[in-house]
Chain A
Amino acid sequence: MFLEISGIKKHFGEGDSRVDVLKGIDLQIEKGEICVLLGPSGSGKSTLLNIIGGIDDADSGYISINGEKTADMNEKSLTKYRRKHLGYIFQMYNLIPNLNIKENIEVGAYLSDNPLDVDEILKTLGLYEHRHKLPNQLSGGQQQRCAIGRAIVKNPDILLCDEPTGALDYNTSKDILKLIEDVNKKYGNTVIMVTHNDAIKNMADRVVKLRDGVIRKNYLNDEKIAAMDLDW
């Protein structure tokens, strides 16, 4: 199994304000799968994504990628883990504001021994003409493309997407989802995408539904459709 999530529990706060966000998550994801984590606000999907991404700790349980458990890792190893295996895409892009578009992607490329060609990615993303612009000179969709470029340039094993279309309009959202789908097809990365847009589950290989910190449904999608055919 490529990615194994076992017995993950997580709480925030103490005493009266204690909230158990994840109450024991067990999940297995194959290499190259597109896995969509669905659920309403507060269901624990972003927390689970952050734990997979090594930017948050679990109270108990473990994450294992190709047999490497994140719980056993110290800070230095966790950094290496993120560097080697992960690419992150956020709802609000989180580009570095004082770097231009190309440089933002190069920041990702710097981390890899064998990065993809930056100019080629810029062309693929339709950003080549805008490469010298600063993020705030681009539209939300273009900024999200740049964020995708930054994530994929190091050709990570897993692409973690936290509500990647949450701040975008319908058409731009579909463009971005298609891009993620294309990247998955082209480079074979595993994609884990958090969303509360129910329609997006239709482009996934695996659908995981969370509510109140537990998995309600976990199934393989036999009726997968192309991102461009999604409708909501």
Chain B
Amino acid sequence: MKNPLNKRFVRELKSDFGKYIVLFVFIVAMIAIVSGFQVAGNSMIKAYEESFEKYNIEDGNFELTAKADEELISKIEENDVTIYENFYLEEETTLGTTMRIFKNREEVNRACLMSGEFPVADNEIAIDRIHANKNELEIGDTIIVSGKELKISGLVALTDYSALYQSPTDTMFDTKMFGVGVMTEEGFEIIGDDRLHFSYSWRYEERPVDDIEAKKMSDELMGSLLQCTMLENYIPAYNNQAIQFTGDDMGRDKLIFGGFLYLVVAIIAFIFAITTSNTITKESTVIGTLRASGYSKGELIRHYLAMPMLVTLIAAVVGNILGYTVMEDFAADMYYNSYCLTTYEILWNAKAFVSTTVIPLVIMFLINFLILVRKFKLSPLRFIRRDLSRKKNKKAFKLNTKISIMKRFRLRIIFQNMPNYITIVFGVLLANVIMIFGLAFPALLKNHSEKLSDNMLSQYQYILKMPSETDNESAEAFTAYSLKTLEIRGFTEQVSLFGVVDDSKYIDVDFEKNTVFISSAYSEKYDVQAGDTITLKEEFEDKEYKFKVKGVYDYSIGIAVFMAQEELNTLFGYEEGYFNGYFSNEEITDIDDELIATVITKDDMDKLSRQLMDSMGNMMGLFFVVGILMFMLIIYLLSKIVIEKNSQSISMVKILGYDNKEINKLYIVTTAIVVIASLIITMPLLDSVMAVLLEYMFFMYSGWMTYYVPMSQYVLVVVAGIASYAVIAFLQMQKVKKIPMEDALKTVE
């Protein structure tokens, strides 16, 4: 015979439908979001990984100063590689953007057509979908490149530009200001061949199995290349952010979303546990009687455990269905908003199933099971006598009688409902983290952007292909060199070394022999201080260098090391007096463009904040809304429990003659005090949590962004919290009003 107690489930559901539906909807929403992101992310990563073979993505590319003849190509191909022409033009458009144009490549780095058609006519171009989107360009529109009108025939994803990095050394890609496109061979030639970049892609005949082997093979190839030609540029695919960044970044999101889901489920599990615990208190005589009649602890634990588990299970199923359908589209749109990904198919994701179904169920089970086991340790007699207090002879602690009775009453309510209020504190913290994440991010980026102007080493930073003199008085020569950090958490990044002249106008430090200064960004990101020793390595070799840090130089926007120029020249084998760059506060006009490798201005430094805002802007709004909803849900459910738990007392004070205003002062104001106190006391903690969270997030990006959230954003969170609570308080006041006085007559204490 089935346990007759099971018949209560439907009735329980009906009697507390509001609570269950709110919890159900919230779990569904959370699981749908996480499942959607994981499924879309996983399917897209899979498509991205498969694209290497499907679209024949290069194993690397190099650029020569002139077109290679067949003899040279044959010589290079002796290294068991196939070489493909990958010439491109880089032109300014009338929109102020830079467009890198290729011939529509059919052998290597093939383009994926997302919509429209590949170009057929000479005046047609298919451009990157996301770049078009950011510049509000559509199929049929015209763009003007080098004075020539080009009609957009289609939108594409170029597989060697899944992240639109203009240069591998860029801090961040820039989908708005930099775009790529393909034209017909004839159209490409008409645009102009005098400014061609002679870029070549290579693919190994036998592909490397991993990055280590890829690096070894790439080093060997570079060695061979240097023996037979001069290289303008050399970038193996494993090191090319334009190819690799997307895969790395999409993996990061999963970790953040997963952790977020588990926290939410844990809080909901606590809410369930508190509710169940109150139900047990309410039904204690019945439980005692059932236990006395022969029902086992296990049967009753299973009974009270069933509802939370059932709600979570159904929510997980519904959440996953929504995750694979509605949210998957939403998540895919967000990824498509940042990355130039190819088309993909939705794949079943076992990991997503585990993280969105199995783990939430396990969390829900464990929290509720442990609390129920603890509760059911008491004897049946204790249940019958309603003596559920675990502490014998628990005394009410004394409160100063000079405090008014209303205040003491409120304090007693807080002590009585401590588990609820502690959960409120944690819930408020979590909701605030989500809210402040949505609010702080734009402020943080704005601050970073503003800092750039103040913190640039100079208004212009020129990197030269070879030493070239200038008459510009503002210019100060330096030697630039690039090394890489050792791997930390699977991440390495480029470090700019600046060899600076004595008494520099731009870098105000006194160097000592065998010591360096590091930028404040380096210091913050890698937690390096004066007196420490840092180890950096050559980008394409295993050679390592150790540097003793003398001090930290206030430069918060780049990962840089500053040392005496002569020392740098000696260390890296340059001649005395060698330099390859200029700091300047004025534009240098007397150096031939051909001799300038790069000019770095504020705008280049601004890319990181612009791209982060562009790609994450939508998500920030979502975070803020989810934060507010989470806040309201937690406060609503827990304050509802407080009211329900005290309904008999509320009924009694009504009989005594307390009016609704006075009762609200006791029961609603108390929760209000806890909520407002939670909002305020969690602020310093919130600040620390945010600092850790954002620092963890930014660590994975090249460069650094100093953590900064203005006080105004915290104030806004408090105001949003209070406003949200006002809505909840209003609902609870209605609930208090509806508690009938007869309640005091019905049940026994």
Contact = CB atoms under 8 A, between A and B. Distances in A.
A110 B396 contact: no
A224 interface: no
A150 B656 contact: yes
Contact of A55 (B389, B393, B655): B655
Given A92-B749, A94-B648, A132 B657 contact: no
A108 interface: yes
Nearest to B746: A92
A97 B405 contact: no
A79 B659 contact: yes
B656 A108 contact: yes
Which has the most chain A C-beta neighbours within 10 Å: B394, B398, B409, B415?
A: B409
A83 B649 contact: no
Given A55-B742, A103-B412, A109-B405, A79 B657 contact: yes
A102 B401 contact: yes
A98 B656 contact: no
B415 A107 contact: no
B405 A132 contact: no
A133 B396 contact: yes
Contact of B656 (A50, A103, A111, A132): A111
Given A92-B748, A97-B749, A132-B395, A53 B655 contact: yes
Contacts of A95: 749
A90 interface: yes
B657 to A, nearest CB: 3
Given A90-B745, A92-B749, A107-B656, A136 B395 contact: no
Given A90-B744, A90-B745, A98 B659 contact: no
Contact of B749 (A80, A94, A99, A137): A94
Contacts of B387: 136
Nearest to B397: A132
B744 A94 contact: yes
Contacts of B749: 92-95, 97, 135-136
Contacts of B401: 102
Interface string B406-417: 101100110110
Interface residues of A, number: 39
A133 to B, nearest CB: 7
Contact of B394 (A79, A110, A134): A134
A86 B656 CA distance: 8
Contacts of A106: 405, 408
A140 to B, nearest CB: 10
Contact of B405 (A86, A103, A133): A103
Given A96-B652, A110-B406, A76 B396 contact: no
Interface in B117-133: none
A136 B742 contact: no
A62 to B, nearest CB: 19
Contacts of B416: 97-98
A82 B396 contact: no
A172 interface: no
Nearest to B394: A134
A150 to B, nearest CB: 7
A107 B659 contact: no
B526 interface: no
A106 B404 CA distance: 9
Nearest to A151: B656
Given A94-B652, A97-B649, A103-B409, A83 B657 contact: yes
Interface in B409-440: 409, 412-413, 415-416
Contacts of B114: none
B657 A137 contact: no
Contact of B409 (A46, A107, A162): A107
Interface in A97-130: 97-100, 102-103, 106-111
B367 interface: no
Contact of A99 (B409, B648, B654): B409
A55 B654 CA distance: 9
Most buried by B among A84, A86, A99: A99
Contacts of A80: 657, 659
Contacts of A90: 744-745
A46 B745 CA distance: 10
Nearest to B741: A55
A126 to B, nearest CB: 19
B415 A98 contact: yes
B745 A96 contact: no
Nearest to A109: B405
A134 B398 CA distance: 11
Contacts of B744: 90, 94
B653 interface: yes
Contacts of B406: 110
A198 interface: no
Interface in B730-747: 741-742, 744-745
Contacts of A68: none
A53 B656 CA distance: 10
B413 A98 contact: yes
A161 B396 CA distance: 28
Nearest to B657: A83
Given A56-B742, A90-B745, A137-B395, A110 B655 contact: no
A84 B656 CA distance: 10
Interface string A123-167: 000000000111111000000000000100000000000100000
Interface string B220-247: 0000000000000000000000000000
Interface string B623-658: 000000000000000000000000011001111111
Nearest to B737: A75
Contacts of A46: 745
A111 B657 contact: yes
A55 B658 CA distance: 13
| Residue among B387, B398, B406, B749 with max Cβ neighbours from chain A (10 Å) | B749
Contacts of B659: 76, 79-80, 83
A110 B742 contact: no
Nearest to A100: B396
A134 B657 contact: no
B366 to A, nearest CB: 30
Contacts of A111: 656-658
A50 B745 contact: yes
Interface string A24-65: 000000000000000000000010001001011000000000
B294 to A, nearest CB: 28
A76 B655 CA distance: 12
Nearest to A82: B657
A186 B412 CA distance: 33
A96 B406 CA distance: 13
Given A82-B655, A94-B648, A108-B656, A133 B742 contact: no
Given A93-B749, A132-B398, A134-B395, A99 B412 contact: yes
Contacts of A132: 395-396, 398
Contacts of A56: 741-742
Q: Which 9 A-B pairs have the closest CB atoms?
A: A83-B657, A98-B416, A55-B741, A82-B657, A106-B405, A100-B396, A134-B396, A98-B412, A96-B649
11 contacts: A55-B654, A55-B745, A80-B659, A84-B657, A90-B745, A96-B653, A97-B649, A102-B401, A107-B409, A107-B656, A137-B395
Given A82-B655, A107-B405, 11 more contacts: A50-B742, A53-B655, A55-B654, A55-B655, A83-B657, A90-B745, A94-B749, A97-B416, A103-B408, A106-B408, A133-B395
